[in-house]
Amino acid sequence: MPEGDTVWNTARVLHRALAGARITGSDFRVPQLATTDLTGWTVRESASRGKHLLLRLDTPTGEHWSLHSHLRMDGAWRAYAPGERWSGRSAHLIRVVLRSPGAVAVGYHLHELTLVPTADEDHLVGHLGPDLLGPDWDPDEAVRRLAEHPEQTIGEALLDQRNLAGVGNLYKCEVLFLRGVSPWTPVGGVPDLPGLVALAQRLLAANRGRWTQSSTGSLHRGQTSYVYGRRAQPCRRCGTAIRKEELGERVTYWCPVCQPERPAPPPAG
């Protein structure tokens, strides 16, 4: 699931493969960048910002540009050795290919693929809240942003990247289960918002550097989550069947016994 930790890992893979390298060829397969040629450009670094990935490059004349991409639910970057067979995804999903002397980076089914001056990155990611895996992580600011909308459900609020950047459906479900909070509890009814935010950061950080996402501590297949992906299976705490609800692309899993809904407190005065 491409959430903040997956994007962080992807950025590290691209950084190891391309940082400091000169691009020897590029192939963009999206209309807005179809004629773009990065040959001769140098990769400065690869970085993540929440669920956004930023590949920062320098032109031969010293200008700074950033190739921005979003993985959403199905995007991915892969790094291959020159001459290695590109495996894992269908060729028709390729959106960009970047070649260097030591590696070939291939972007599959990328979204919002954009090339902008690095100084303009804020136009793309400046609206995001504190990044749970970034140097700017500020739990107090994340709590403040969440608390600004006390009537919003906590499930919706955690997915709003303007509050804190990096949480997706998987971590939303797991964090709320571990804190015993229903996804439909209004933010104002969450008893310990700082504790919930701190747990979200710890879970993402614990999975940083590995591709198997686990909230249980186990990396064994079928044992990595408490509720996510476990519809109708027994709750690991109480044995009640886990429930699932879909709303568009949003999916929520929860235990109705372990996660009782709490009402929002009445307005002051």
246 is an active site residue: no
Distance CA 248, CA 254 (A): 17
3-state secondary structure of 14: helix
DSSP designation for 267? P
Note if 243 is an active site residue: no
What the block records as the tokens of 49 is: 């910002």
Residues 144, 182, 226, 166: is their CA dihedral positive or negative? negative
Q: Which of 51, 78, 179, 230 is an active site residue?
A: 51
Stretch (H or E) spanning 198 = helix 193-207
> Would you report the helix, strand and coil content of the chain in percent, each value rounded to 5?
25, 25, 50
What phi, psi does 146 have (nearest 5°)? -60, -45
Out of 89, 250, 261, 262, the active site residue is 250
Rounded Cα distance between 166 and 159, Å, is 8
89 burial class (0-12, 13-18, 19+ CB within 10 angstroms)?
middle
Count, residues in the chain:
269
150 contacts 229 by C-beta, under 8 angstroms: no
Point out the catalytic residue in the list 2, 130, 183, 186: 2
One DSSP character per residue, 2-59 reads: -SHHHHHHHHHHHHHHHTTPBP-EEEE-SGGGTT---TT-EEEEEEEETTEEEEEEE-
Known active-site residue 172: no
Distance CA 187, CA 145 (A): 11
Just list the catalytic residues.
2-3, 51, 250
